[in-house]
A and B are shown apart, each in its own frame.
Chain A
Amino acid sequence: MNCKSVQNRLSAYLDRELGGDELLVLRAHLSTCRECREELDGLRALKSLLGGVPCPEPPDDLSDKLTASMLKLRYEEPRKLFKVSAFMFAGVAACSMLGTLVALNYNLNRSGRENSAMGMGNMANASRMDLPTYADSHVSPIISASNFGPR
């Protein structure tokens, strides 16, 4: 470990956030390097300074103001709940309408398909009418009856 990588770890070392080999290697380097030791001392002094900065006192009425804010929120809550309910109602109504539209569309498509299928059937029957009579034995009695009429 060179001086640069040691110095990058000095804050973590100071905060006891290093462990294992990293810690051992760093300690070994510090025992032989004066420059890194001085850097460590500088950071230690700074840490001590920052930790000793007095905590500013809050205004006397801050606690009361905060409690008043909470009370205000308490009275806002039912209105907020109503807003959510209104949104939920609108969402449910929109979903219902969409569902109805989809169902209608499905039914329309289905009946359209049935109609076209019937049309296809007629066409098939129509073409079958042109078939030669040797196929008579293979067609169903219904088809043969409907297409070829009474014999």
Chain B
Amino acid sequence: MFFVGVKEKTNSVGDRLDLFEGLIKDAHRPAYGLAYRLTGNASEAEDLVQESFVRAYRFFHRYDDSLPFTSWLYRIMTNAHIDSVRRRGRLKTTSLEASGSDGSTTWDLPDLEASPDRAMLQNSLEEPVQKALLSMTAEFRTAVLLADVEGLAYEEVAEIMKTSVGTVRSRIHRGRKQIRSYLLKHAPKTYRGYCDEL
């Protein structure tokens, strides 16, 4: 694999820079995808990707070759995201079950109608899915995204999130149930239609 054994090639600062140019080319696309799903908007996603690569560059001496570079980058990214959410106190998100029946719940979301990223929302369920993801705690969201969007095994998710496989299993299951509840509540017709087509 391209990323295996990369450390041996980085004896000098110049080598490391050359290596990172390659890593950026290969990994910035999936990294941005995950960052977008984690943060919910383009500007924060870009900042998160930037911060993750900067941290990866600075702490490259700590990189363990046995882990693929992308997994290490995702670990940095998810940690940075969880830290950032904690700093802003966003972990006090409203539980989906507890959200007001009068629709009084406000979501910390960009105005997708006005956003240029609106074009990216290709199907009608993409927006509710993103809202459901953002309504969860950062830990649940990260676990679900790594498993369902990135397609990683529980062990890999546990490795990235530095937690046990049991915790990952629980976070993924509870996270999925929260998303489903959200979709059944906020986009029932579309979601049921989607399920019926399967």
Contacts and interface: CB of A to CB of B under 8 A. Distances in A.
A42 interface: yes
A45 B192 CA distance: 10
B13 A70 contact: no
Most chain A Cβ neighbours within 10 Å, of B17, B21, B148, B154: B148
Contact of B125 (A42, A49, A66, A69): A49
B46 A12 contact: no
Contacts of B149: 50-51, 53, 55
B50 A66 contact: yes
Interface residues of B: mostly helix, strand, loop or mixed? helix
A54 B122 contact: yes
Contacts, number: 112
A1 B173 CA distance: 18
A73 interface: yes
B188 interface: no
Interface of A: 8-12, 15, 17, 41-51, 53-59, 62-63, 65-67, 69-71, 73-74, 77
Interface in B139-171: 144, 147-149, 151, 153-154, 165, 169
A50 B24 contact: no
B195 interface: yes
Nearest to A59: B46
A70 B120 CA distance: 29
Interface residues of B, number: 46
A interface secondary structure, majority: helix
Contact of A56 (B24, B36, B58, B176): B36
A56 B32 contact: yes
A11 B172 contact: yes
A59 B42 contact: yes
B28 A57 contact: no
Contacts of A70: 17, 20-21, 24, 53-54, 57
A66 B28 CA distance: 9
B16 to A, nearest CB: 8
Interface string B104-120: 00000000000001001
A50 B148 contact: yes
Contacts of B172: 11-12, 15
A67 B154 contact: no
Nearest 8 CB-CB pairings of A with B: A58-B32, A55-B33, A11-B173, A50-B148, A45-B195, A56-B36, A66-B24, A56-B120
